[in-house]
């Protein structure tokens, strides 16, 4: 059953306002969308990163559900351990009946997911623990100084891929984490974008309800890291999808589907925008619009097109 906006009005908010996340950061929006997609009791694990640091500055917490902080690299291992302990307590009869439907959700940034935590994530997926892992993907190590990660796109200006006379920014393409996770053959995988709250929340509801591990990768435009205004994340999130830089994908029991605007584009009902529409409002890409870097935009467009065509084929579309 689809989630309706009117049904959300009277729900308890799982993450309070007044935290220290940057003004204009969509990550708290993503967290609320994920957690409010189900009425089941919930437990969250949170890898070190922006979300953890800014929502739990001692002695305060913004979380209204049971929450545990773990190291950068082991969010998936932590939530897997909690889920295993919970199942053991059920067998021993030590869990009250009204808590037996508790759901387990881990949050991590791209640094703690694509890179440092990949081994932990892979292990938990392979073992088949019943949990949802959510990557809030701001495409860099934003909490520690805007360094590049393997989620950082080609051409981005970061503190470890600085732009200058001999460099146009990061030279390597983004890691295709969706396909890596898909290789684990888990029940549910999805990408999402917070501007499309209905798509995100309906996917989260599915992910939380499946029996076994689930994974979601959600784009999260970063105000300081992407060098954008505090009021721009929604438009940039939308542009990421409409340019096919960030396709909306769902993989359910091995069946690939395109959703939201991505399905409309693949069906020919919506125009696919050039990647410049995603790049142009972000300061991390402003150098690419200089004459000497015009070929880099073509490189990015070629990379986007290659990935888009691959995802379309996986979803059953012909090029």
pTM (two decimals): 0.96
Whether residue 6 is contained in a domain is answered as no
Q: CA angle, 305 as apex, 303 and 306 as ends, to 5°?
A: 65
**Angle at which helices 27-35 and 197-209 cross, to 10°:** 50
pLDDT tens figures, 49-68: 999 999 999 999 999 999 99
Whether residue 3 is contained in a domain is answered as no
Whether residue 1 is contained in a domain is answered as no
Whether residue 85 is contained in a domain is answered as yes
Question: Of the candidates 315, 135, 138, which has an alpha carbon nearest to the alpha carbon of residue 215?
Answer: 135
Phi, psi angles (nearest 5°) of residue 297: -60, -40
Cα–Cα distance, 182 to 185 (Å, whole number): 5
Q: Cβ atoms within 10 A of the Cβ of 252, count?
A: 16
Q: Supply the DSSP symbol for 187.
A: S
pLDDT tens figures, 248-261: 999 999 999 999 99
Q: Domain of 157? A: 14-314
Tell me the average pLDDT of the chain: 96
pLDDT tens figures, 120-139: 999 999 999 999 999 999 99
Q: Supply the DSSP symbol for 115.
A: I
Residue 256's beta-bridge partner residues? Answer: 251
pLDDT band of residue 83 (cuts 50, 70, 90) is very high
Whether residue 319 is contained in a domain is answered as no
Over the Cα atoms of the chain, what is R_g? 19
Whether residue 8 is contained in a domain is answered as no
pLDDT band of residue 266 (cuts 50, 70, 90) is very high
Torsion of CA 284, 289, 295, 298, to 10 degrees: 70
**Angle at which helices 75-91 and 118-127 cross, to 10°:** 30
Whether residue 258 is contained in a domain is answered as yes
**For the chain, what is the total number of helices (H) and then of strands (E)?**
12, 10
Strands 67-70 and 42-47: parallel
Locus of tokens 């439907």:
101
Q: The CATH number of the domain where 162 resides is what?
A: 3.40.50.970
In total, how many domains does the chain have?
A: 1
* Distances in whole angstroms, Cα of residue 194 to Cα of each of 125, 184, 273, 289, 314: 24, 26, 19, 27, 24
pLDDT of residue 284: 98
H/E element, 219: strand 214-219
* Distances in whole angstroms, Cα of residue 179 to Cα of each of 91, 127, 154: 35, 18, 19
Whether residue 7 is contained in a domain is answered as no
pLDDT of residue 4: 73
pLDDT at 319 over 70: no
Residue 90 CB contacts under 8 Å (≥ 6 apart), including other chains? 100
């Amino acid at each position: 059953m689809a989630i309706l906006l009117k049904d959300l009005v009277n729900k308890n908010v799982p993450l309070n306002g007044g935290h220290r996340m940057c003004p204009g950061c969509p990550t708290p929006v993503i967290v609320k969308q994920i957690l409010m997609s189900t009425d089941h009791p919930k437990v969250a694990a949170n890898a070190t990163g922006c979300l953890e640091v800014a929502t739990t500055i001692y002695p305060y917490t913004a979380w209204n559900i049971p929450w545990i902080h773990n190291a950068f690299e082991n969010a998936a291992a932590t939530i897997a351990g909690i889920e295993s302990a919970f199942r053991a307590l059920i067998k021993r009869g030590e869990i009250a009946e009204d808590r037996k439907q508790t759901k387990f959700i881990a949050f991590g940034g791209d640094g703690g997911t694509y890179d440092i935590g990949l081994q932990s994530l892979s292990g938990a997926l392979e073992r088949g623990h019943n949990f949802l892992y959510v990557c809030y993907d701001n495409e860099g190590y934003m909490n520690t100084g805007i360094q590049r990660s393997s989620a950082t796109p080609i051409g981005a200006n970061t503190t470890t891929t600085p732009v200058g006379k001999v460099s146009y920014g990061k030279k390597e393409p983004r890691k295709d984490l969706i396909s890596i996770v898909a290789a684990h053959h888990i029940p549910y995988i999805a990408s999402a974008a917070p501007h499309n709250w209905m798509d995100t929340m309906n996917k989260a509801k599915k992910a939380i309800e499946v029996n076994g591990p689930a994974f979601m990768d959600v784009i999260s435009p970063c105000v300081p890291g992407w060098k954008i205004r505090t009021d721009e994340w929604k438009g940039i999130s939308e542009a990421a999808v409409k340019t096919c830089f960030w396709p909306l994908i769902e993989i359910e029991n091995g069946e690939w589907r395109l959703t939201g605007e991505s399905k409309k584009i693949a069906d020919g009902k919506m125009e696919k925008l050039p990647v410049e529409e995603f790049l142009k409002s972000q300061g991390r890409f402003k150098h690419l619009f200089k004459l000497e870097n015009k070929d880099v935009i073509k490189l990015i467009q070629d990379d986007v097109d290659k990935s888009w065509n691959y995802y379309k084929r996986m979803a059953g579309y012909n090029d």
